[in-house]
Amino acid sequence: MIELSAYTQLLVSYAILGGVYGLTALGLSLIWGVMKAVNWAHGDFLMVGMYTAFWTVTLFGIDPYIAAIVAFILLGLIGMVTHVIAIEPVVEKPGGHEATLLTTLGISVILESLALILWSPSPRSYQNVYKNTFLEVLGIRTSVAEAIAFVVSIASIVAVDQFLKRVKIGKAIRAVSQNPVGARVVGIDVPKIRLMTFGLGVGLAGMAGVLVSTFYPNIRPLAGYVWDIASYVVVIFAGLGTIYGVIFAGIIIGITEGLGTIVFSNAFRQILVYVVFLVVLLLRPQGLFGKALRRV
């Protein structure tokens, strides 16, 4: 079977993949934490991010990592518009969390179909040197694009954590996430904070989309779906109110997936992931790294 060096290779490969899962889940986790809203269109925002990369790189010839900044800003704005249309009007009403599920479903359908009409279903791609250059350390190889995505993933998680701890708006976001009623009492403008969070979360999704597109093939209207599911699994694993948990959960899932396929078959691996997911959900709904939910 496989030699030891192959195992370490896989360990590194899947740890990197897990880091990317963490990045795609970060925006979702923020939104989930602050308004308990399931953002169904998350994968579609990733998709729009990928297209942003494609268009900026092919039209203006700029570096995909600059496109990531463009995508962050652009998607941030789109996210705020979405929030005003689809989240804010329903989120506080009774059954609001479920309603956001349906409204974001509507947004998701609209975004996918718009992408289909505007950009055709042809799978797009852009050439970049990063995915074709490789790093080799002690016989373990990875592409530069994946390595950068991993580093950016960790950096953005640290940045978001510092933002939540040090910046005024960030602190307010944390306050709303932990205790919305209390936050309102101390004079925080809760709707405004929700708007900011949604914008930030969607912006992060857009950025993640660009980074994924540097090494993962096929930019097409349904491209976000595969990362969507992974992101939800990560968010549930990580639990509420934790930012660093997202990256740990991502890496754990990445490695479990990778090693799972060696021990079991590829067909069984997916079954395993969902079984573990359900068990964690049932035994620790607050997630592996989250704080216990207080009953209200």
Partner 1 sequence: MDTKAWILAIVLLIVGLLVGYFAAGPGQAKTVTVTKSVEKTVTVTKTVAGTATQPAKTTTAPAKKVEVKVGVLLPLSGGSAFSGQEDLKGIQLAALHVNQSKYPNLKFTMKLVIADTQTKQDVAVTELRRLAQEGVVAIIGAYNSAVTYPSAAEAERIGLPYVVPESVSDKITAQGWKYVFRTCANASKYAYDTLWAMADIAKANGVEVKSVALIYENSDFGVTTTEGLKKYLNKFFPNAKIVHEESYPAEEVTSMDDMVAKLKAENPDIVFHVAYLKDAVLFVQTMKKLNWYPKAYVGAGAGGQTRVEFIQQLGADANYVYTQTEWQPDFLNSKALSKWAWINDDFKKLYGRDMVGSSALNYVGTYVLAVAIQKALDSGANPSDIKAFRKAVRDALETIKIPAGELPLMPWGVDLTVPNHQNPEAAVAMAQILEGRFRVVWPIEFAPVKAVFPAPPWGKR
Partner 2 sequence: MGLELKFTRKLIPAAILLVIGAVFPLFADEFLVSILMQAYLWAFLAMSWDVIGGYGGQFSLGHAAFLALGAYTSTILLQSYNISPWVGMWAAGVVAGAAGALVGIASLRLKGPFFALGTIAFAELVKLLLLYFKGITGGPLGILITKSGPENMLFETQTPYYYLMFVLMLAGILFLKWFESSRFGIGLVAVREDEEAAEGVGINVYRAKVIGAAISAFLTGIGGTIYAQWIHFIRPDILVKLEYSTQIAAIDVVGGAGSPYGGLIGALILVPLSLYLNALFGGMIAGLSLILYGVVLLIVVVMIPGGIYGLLRRRLGRKFSDKRRG
6 binds partner 2 (CB under 8 A): no
Segment near partner 2 (CB under 8 A), from 111-119, 129-137, 157-165, 210-218? 111-119
The answer to the question of residue 230 lying near partner 1 (CB under 8 A) is yes
Residue 154 makes contact with partner 2 by CB under 8 A: no
The Cα-based distances of 218 to 50, 87, 155 in angstroms read: 9, 30, 26
Task: Give the nearer residue to partner 1 in terms of CB position, either 154 or 222.
Answer: 222
Q: Which of 37, 42, 78, 71 is nearest to 56 (CA)?
A: 71
What φ, ψ does residue 294 adopt, rounded to 5°?
-90, 140
Q: Where are the beta strands (DSSP E) in 40-151?
A: 134-137, 140-143
Single out the residue of 183, 189, 234 nearest to residue 208, CA to CA.
234
Which of 151, 160, 146, 144 has the alpha carbon at shortest distance from 238? 160
Examine residue 37 and tell whether it contacts partner 1 (CB under 8 A): no
Structure tokens at 137: 């350390």
Residue 2 beta carbon to partner 1: minimum distance, rounded to whole angstroms: 5
Rounded Cα gap, residues 233 and 277, in angstroms:
7
Instruction: Please state the closest distance from residue 281 (CB atom) to partner 2, in A.
Output: 5
Q: Which one of partner 1, partner 2, none is in contact with 6 (Cβ closer than 5 to 8 A by kind)?
A: partner 1
Is residue 265 near partner 1 by the rule CB under 8 A? Answer: yes
Binder to partner 1 among 4, 94, 95, 118 (CB under 8 A)?
Answer: 118
- Any contact of residue 15 with partner 2 (CB under 8 A)? no
DSSP-based three-state secondary structure for 219: strand
- Contacts of the segment 172-175: beta carbons below 8 A, 24+ positions apart: 173/30, 173/34, 173/197
- How far is 149 from 19, CA to CA, in rounded Å? 8
For tokens 């590829």, the residue is 266
Bridge partner list, 219: 124
Residues 61-100 that bind partner 1 (CB under 8 A): 81, 84-85, 89
Q: How far is the CB of 284 from partner 2 (least distance, A)?
A: 10
Q: Is 108 in the site for partner 2 (CB under 8 A)?
A: yes
232 binds partner 2 (CB under 8 A): yes
Beta carbons within 8 Å of 206's beta carbon, 6+ residues apart: 45, 46, 48, 49, 52, 71, 72, 74, 75, 76, 78
Hey, CA dihedral for 56, 62, 68, 69, is it positive or negative? negative
| Residue 220, binding choice from partner 2, partner 1, none, Cβ under 5 to 8 Å by partner class | partner 1
Is residue 263 a contact point for partner 2 (CB under 8 A)? no
Contact residue for partner 1 among 229, 271, 278, 279 (CB under 8 A):
229
Footprint of partner 2 (CB under 8 A): 32, 36-38, 85-86, 89-90, 93, 95, 97-99, 101-103, 105-110, 112-114, 116-117, 229, 232, 236, 267-268, 270-271, 274-275, 277-278, 281-282, 285
Footprint of partner 1 (CB under 8 A): 1-3, 6, 9-10, 13-14, 17, 81, 84-85, 89, 110, 113-114, 116-118, 120-123, 125, 127, 131-132, 134, 141-143, 215-218, 220-222, 225-227, 229-230, 257-258, 261-262, 265-267, 270
